Amino acid sequence: MNQHPNDQFLQAEEEANRLIEELGKLRKETESYASASKSLNQASSEVGKTARSLQAVAENSAQVFKTLNAIGTPELLRAQEEAKLVVLQKIEEEGAKLRRVVLLTAGTLLFALLLLGAGVIFVCPR
């Protein structure tokens, strides 16, 4: 069947419009892929920076541990614990002395109050 030239033109125009729509979709997809690629490249760069930072931290930590071991950290910790025990013992001893002073003072005050109540001690008004 022979189509009229106008019909052929309309059909070609419809096909061209369909192709333009498809090209538009492909363009959007391509832009989306380009954006995703850019984001992935940025993320990859950040991961690399983070990995280098972590490596530096690990190396510095290793150096700190070597230094602590070299200066005898276990011995330092043991000495610190011994010093703490001595301080706690001194605190306990001083606390015991303070309790004795408080008890003696309270006993003396109580005795004075008893004497005062018994009339043995007279308080002179000023």
> What tens digit of pLDDT does each residue of 45-91 get?
888 888 888 888 888 888 888 887 788 878 888 888 998 898 889 88
Whole-number Å distance between alpha carbons of 83 and 110: 40
In degrees and rounded to multiples of 5, residue 124 shows phi and psi of -90, 130
Q: State pLDDT tens for residues 96-109.
A: 888 888 888 888 88
Q: Give residue limits of the domains in the chain.
A: 1-71, 74-121
pLDDT exceeds 80 at position 20: yes
- pTM summary value: 0.38
Alpha carbon separation from 96 to 2, 74, 83, 107 (Å, rounded): 122, 33, 20, 16
Whole-number Å distance between alpha carbons of 104 and 69: 52
Q: What angle do CA 46, 52, 53 make, to 5 degrees?
A: 90
Cβ partners under 8 Å of residue 66, min gap 6 = none
Whole-number Å distance between alpha carbons of 16 and 22: 10
